[in-house]
Amino acid sequence: MDQSPPRNTSVTVADVAHKAGVSKATAARVLGGYGTVSDRVREVVTAAARALDYRPNEIARSMTTGRSGTIGVVVGDIENPFFSLAVRGITDVARQAGFTVILINSGEDVAAEKAAIRTLLAKRVDGLIVSPAKESEVEHLREASRSGLPLALLDRGSDTLDVDTVIADDRHAAEGITRRLVALGHRRIAYLTACDTPDHRFHTADDINTGSVRRRIEGFLGVCREAGLAEMEDWVHVGAVTSEHTRRIVTAMLQSAQRPTAIIASDSVIGLEVFKVHREFGLSIPEDLSLVSFHDADWTSVTTPPVTVVRQPVYGLGETAAKLLVARLNGNGGEANRIVLRTEVVDRASVADAPA
Amino acid sequence: MDQSPPRNTSVTVADVAHKAGVSKATAARVLGGYGTVSDRVREVVTAAARALDYRPNEIARSMTTGRSGTIGVVVGDIENPFFSLAVRGITDVARQAGFTVILINSGEDVAAEKAAIRTLLAKRVDGLIVSPAKESEVEHLREASRSGLPLALLDRGSDTLDVDTVIADDRHAAEGITRRLVALGHRRIAYLTACDTPDHRFHTADDINTGSVRRRIEGFLGVCREAGLAEMEDWVHVGAVTSEHTRRIVTAMLQSAQRPTAIIASDSVIGLEVFKVHREFGLSIPEDLSLVSFHDADWTSVTTPPVTVVRQPVYGLGETAAKLLVARLNGNGGEANRIVLRTEVVDRASVADAPA
DNA sequence: TTTTAGATTGAGACCGGTCTCAATAATGGA
DNA sequence: TCCATTATTGAGACCGGTCTCAATCTAAAA
């Protein structure tokens, strides 16, 4: 009795209309909530729909309206706490605005990113939020945008792409912490990032395709130059793409005769690895080595000593990007917005004077 | 010259067919990759499609095939590293199998979960992976499953739902660590979980609606009983839903005359908060307090001391659930699979003899 | 009471694919 | 060379909604 027949074939407006004894058009009107219907008919149709357990088919609806009610999100890696928090911001806004989110990881690989965009385009998403793997390769994004699809860039911008962009003031943040380290007497300051170059070595900031990281490195190098430190390019290390890579790089660094007295980690995953390795070397932070990490990850406050970090408004990054996109989706036109959210240095105890 | 006209109206198979000088049916055949076409025609159509920059419309395709190529994923909170890692496992498998993922957070709220299911049903997802907020309220899931939609449960099962389920051996894990604590002389052992009850107090394991947590508590209480410890129900604390709640509960606990000598944290977010609070009290782990946390979060290995944890195969949980779902989607029938993945205790340094 | 603007309702086209079925062309065996 | 098969192709229905337009109805205005 409680087991209704397993209906493999779903009930449609036509079914409801038939049961209610009205035309398909009328049933569609009350079910779809548009047009004008008499109260009596509305009741009959509603009752029929309930009796039949009618479920609207969004696919069919999208077919005619041209809107899918979904937004596509392409991030590097949802497993990274940075992105998972940003995505939380996006989904919260999207849900509230009546949109649903299709999530795809690019693994920071441009080819995968292109494939993702293609898939999303085929699914006819109403809008796109992307954290581009490479600023230098955004043709696929430009094309999507030019075809009229609203696009918002997350955490990484592109000068050549005139679309809504939400980033953090990475350069400023990097300048701040570098200045601080220099003031404390540090001269051998290493900057460590997951971004890679073809030969896995750093030459100039232009080699760095990830906008946010490039700006940080430019800030870092700029301040070093001001302070009269030469050839600090040699202290920028790229390719910390996995914890194994990071471990290898940090190990080489700490074993070197010219061991750095301070390390700036470009994200919390790298920062964590640096922290792990420094202990294996029996070094102590901050006496032997100062450490600053980007991203105020949860672990940074419970280590001994706790780690000084650049706190980025990660949730806000996603939230803002989604809000801009939703505004576009609601027809708000106008110039592309380029929003820069403020970061903040959270002073803890991993930074001190350079060892004598 | 390089700026192709911004086509607001997308090109369809009919357009391609017209340009290629063939019928819509024929163009559709080569574009859709089905049926049989002569090589000559294939070439002409392909060329026309390229010239027009034809992009298939998945929505329209779904309309006739009845398959959307998407799977819906409902988790508590993507921001939680547990879920973000599991989702990574899901998306990896889904992508490989040609499916796209629609992600919705339930916030561990049944009403939100129901709404999510409804949305996903309307979007005509091909399958569903859900981490149910409450085992006691799964009617909406049962209904979805009964209507023929493949469903896989993640991390939390339901005896009354006969669907593919992937969980960890939570009871066994809880028994193991409890036994260990008891053997070290602990008698005042607190178990702390985010799951809540109507009156925010724990009475019996049946009050706990989250399957994984209930099994852990049953394991915990079972071992305590074996060891002759009475009324350990009083040591189970529920409602650590936010860090503020957790902080309040832990603070009360540590201030009490009957201060626990060991705490078991039901997830890493709670474990982190316990770690933070214990320090503010000037207590030291493990001398004054032993701590064990579920989920081998990254921070647990870098604290001083590092924290002993129950390592769950989180990525594997998501991966396996997705694989089971994909198998169903490919038509594999048969009994519902109930897979239990093994956990492992990672012994670090936060557990020691109970203080005298 | 007749006229008429406005409210309701029904028919049917349409969105952009897939797919069936019949018609036509090409190939092979007797 | 003729007929049976098989390969290609075109027409048009269909999926489940939305939406336009014309027809019918209702009630207020004259």
Report the range of poorest mean pLDDT among A195-199, A246-250, B248-252: A195-199
Provide the positions of strand D that have an atom within 7 A of a protein CB. Answer: 7-12, 14-20
Residue B7 reports pLDDT greater than 50 = no
- Write the pLDDT tens digit of every residue in A134-166: 888 999 999 999 888 999 999 998 888 999 999
Say if residue A267 is in the same domain as residue A182. Answer: yes
Residue at A142 is within a domain: yes
Query: Is residue A243 very low, low, confident or very high in pLDDT (cuts 50, 70, 90)?
Result: very high
Which range is least confidently modeled, A15-19, B47-51, B173-177, B209-213?
Answer: B209-213
Distances from the Cα of A27 to the Cα of A18, A36, A68, angstroms: 9, 11, 22
Closest residue by Cα to residue A140 from B246, B53, B228: B53
Domain containing A162 equals 69-168+314-341
For position A9, what pLDDT does the model report?
67
Q: How far is CA A82 from CA A5, A78, A265, B78, B246, in A?
A: 46, 8, 14, 11, 23
Residue A198 sits in the same domain as residue A300: yes
Q: Which nucleotide is nearest to B14 (CA to C1')?
A: C16
- As a rounded value in angstroms, the CA-to-C1' distance for B143 and D20 is 38
- Considering the domain architecture, whether residues A196 and A300 belong to the same structural domain is answered as yes
Mean pLDDT of chain B: 93
Q: What is the pLDDT of residues B327-354, one digit of tens each?
A: 999 988 889 999 999 999 999 999 999 9
Q: How far is CA B98 from CA A119, A198, B92, B263, B321, in A?
A: 10, 30, 10, 44, 16
- For residue A112, being part of any structural domain is answered with yes
CA distance A18 to chain B (A): 21
Is residue A40 a part of any domain in this protein? Answer: yes
Nearest nucleotide from residue A65 CA, by C1' atom: D18
Contacts of A91 in chain B (CB under 8 A): 78, 103-105
Contacts of A188 (CB under 8 A, 6+ apart): A235, A258, A259, A260, A261, A262
The per-residue pLDDT for B50 is 94
* pLDDT at B158 (0 to 100): 84
| Same domain, residue pair A96 and A142 | yes
**Contact (CB, 8 A) for B318 and B341:** no
Q: Do the chains contact at A105 and B124, CB–CB below 8 Å?
A: no
For nucleotide C16, give the residue with the nearest CA to its C1': B60
E strand or H helix at A224, and its extent?
Answer: helix A211-226
Shared-domain flag, residues A146 and A91:
yes
Is B139 in the same domain as B93?
yes
For residue B9, the model assigns a pLDDT of 67
Residue type, A345: V
Averaged pLDDT, B250-279: 95
A98 and A82 belong to one structural domain = yes
Residue A202 lies in a domain: yes
Strands A262-265 and B70-75: unpaired
Kind and range of the H or E run holding A127 = strand A127-130
**How high does pLDDT run on average in chain A?**
93
Query: Could you tell me if B73 and B149 lie in one domain?
Result: yes
Asked if strand C contacts A14 at the CB level, meaning under 7 A, the answer is: no
Which nucleotide has the shortest C1'-to-CA distance from A63? C15
A236, A222 Cβ separation under 8 angstroms: no
B56 CB neighbours strand D below 7 A: no
Q: Which of residues 65-84 of B touch strand D (CB under 7 A)?
A: 66
Whether A7 has a pLDDT exceeding 70, the answer reads no
Q: Give, rounded to a whole angstrom, the gap between the first and last alpha carbons of chain A.
A: 84
pLDDT (0 to 100) of residue A157: 86
Mutate to test the interface with A, among B12, B13, B54, B59 (most CBs of A within 10 A): B59
User: How many residues make up chain A in this entry?
Assistant: 356
Nucleic acid strand D within 7 Å of B121 CB: no
- CA nearest neighbour of A312 among A263, A267, A351: A267
> Between the CA of B37 and the C1' of C30, what is the distance in angstroms?
30
- Residue A167 phi/psi, 5° resolution? -135, 175
Cα-Cα-Cα-Cα dihedral sign, residues B185, B188, B192, B195: positive
Phi, psi at A87, each rounded to 5°? -65, -35
Q: At what angle do helices B13-20 and B24-32 cross, to 10 degrees?
A: 110
Question: CATH number of the domain that A177 lies in?
Answer: 3.40.50.2300
- Tokens 């190529």 belong to which residue? B69
Same domain, B203 and B249: yes
Binned at pLDDT 50, 70 and 90, residue B147 comes out as: confident
Do A124 and B57 make contact, defined as CB atoms within 8 angstroms? yes
Mean pLDDT, residues A180-192: 97
The reply to whether B36 has its C-beta less than 7 Å from any atom of strand D is: yes
Tally of domains within chain B: 3
Q: How many angstroms separate the CA atoms of A185 and A353, rounded?
A: 6
| pLDDT, position B71 | 97
Q: How far is the CA of A6 from the C1' of D17 (A)?
A: 23
Nearest CB to A6; choose among B148, B269, B272: B148
Phi, then psi, of A156 in degrees rounded to 5: -140, 130
Contact state of A272 with B87 under an 8 Å Cβ cutoff: no
Nearest CA in chain A to B60: A63
Is A6 part of any domain? no
Evaluate whether residue B325 is within a structural domain.
Answer: yes
What tokens does A300 get?
A: 């940074």
pLDDT in tens, A187-232: 999 999 999 999 999 999 998 988 899 999 999 999 999 999 989 9
Contact between chains at A299 and B304 (C-beta distance less than 8 A): no
Closest CB to B62 among A3, A59, A297: A59
- The average pLDDT across B148-163 equals 92
* B254 and B142 fall within a common domain: no
Q: What are A330's two structure tokens? A: 């609601």
How many CB atoms lie under 10 A from the CB of residue A164?
Answer: 26
pLDDT, position A1: 32
A73 belongs to a structural domain: yes
On whether both B130 and B180 belong to a single domain, the answer is no
Residue–nucleotide distance: A5 CA to D22 C1' (Å):
41
User: Rounded CA gap, B149 and B146, in Å?
Assistant: 7
Dihedral, CA of residue B243, residue B249, residue B253 and residue B256, to nearest 10: 130
B194/B297 same-domain check:
yes
Residue B69: predicted pLDDT = 96
Last residue of a domain, one of A313, A331, A350: A313
Among B8, B70, B79, B291, the strongest candidate for a mutation testing the A interface, having the largest count of A CBs within 10 A, is B79
Give B57 CA → C24 C1' in Å: 31
